[in-house]
Amino acid sequence: MTPYVALSTAFRSQIGKLWSINSELPQSKAAQALADEAYRSGLLNEPRKLSGTALADWGRSGKIPAWAALSALRLLINSGWRPASNVDWAGMTSLLLRLDKKLDTSTGAVLDELLALLPPGLDKNIAAGWFCAAIEEHKNFVHENVQR
């Protein structure tokens, strides 16, 4: 496991709890907001009821479904959250890379497309470095799985 993967995995394991705390909503409402965002953004095909218990279980286990992690990131960014640590930067860039399935990571234009996903006020130079690491990890992951 590379250092980037370790950092982004640590972020993903805590993103549900991070959303729950930052939302300042009761856990049941924070969980439902997550499911509603996933449906609204097309990460879920149909509306889903999500209990606060599920959100708590993900926090304890450190395992959160991709749709929930991506929705939590969207909600966090929309609420004004910004990355403050290496774990935050790695996790955010890794998830943003996964958010758009149409991105072609084999071209140089992908970095510009990813930078366009950022909310205003983030340092694009710092983000570019983290996105480059995310792109490299993605390429290595795809290459390793194709060779198997």
pLDDT at res. 117: 84
> What is the three-class DSSP state of 142?
helix
Residue burial 8-34, b: 16+ Cβ < 10 Å; e: rest: bbbbbbbbbbbbbeebeeebeebbbbb
pLDDT at res. 104: 66
- Per the CB < 8 A criterion, the answer to whether 115 and 124 are in contact is yes
pLDDT at res. 146: 43
pTM of structure: 0.87
pLDDT at res. 60: 87
pLDDT at res. 143: 43
- Per the CB < 8 A criterion, the answer to whether 72 and 105 are in contact is no
Residue with tokens 């983290």: 130
Torsion of CA 16, 83, 85, 95, to 10 degrees: 60
Centre a 10 Å sphere on the Cβ of residue 133 and count the other Cβ atoms it contains: 21
Which residues touch 143 (CB under 8 Å, ≥6 apart)? none
Q: How far apart are CA 69 and CA 144, in angstroms?
A: 24
Q: Which two tokens stand for residue 96?
A: 């943003």
> What is the three-class DSSP state of 9?
helix
- Per the CB < 8 A criterion, the answer to whether 18 and 64 are in contact is no
- The tens place of each residue's pLDDT in the chain, 148 residues long, gives 889 999 999 999 999 999 999 999 999 999 999 999 999 999 999 999 999 999 889 988 889 999 999 999 999 999 999 999 999 999 999 999 887 666 666 666 788 888 988 988 899 999 999 999 998 887 776 545 444 4
Residue with tokens 């409402």: 29
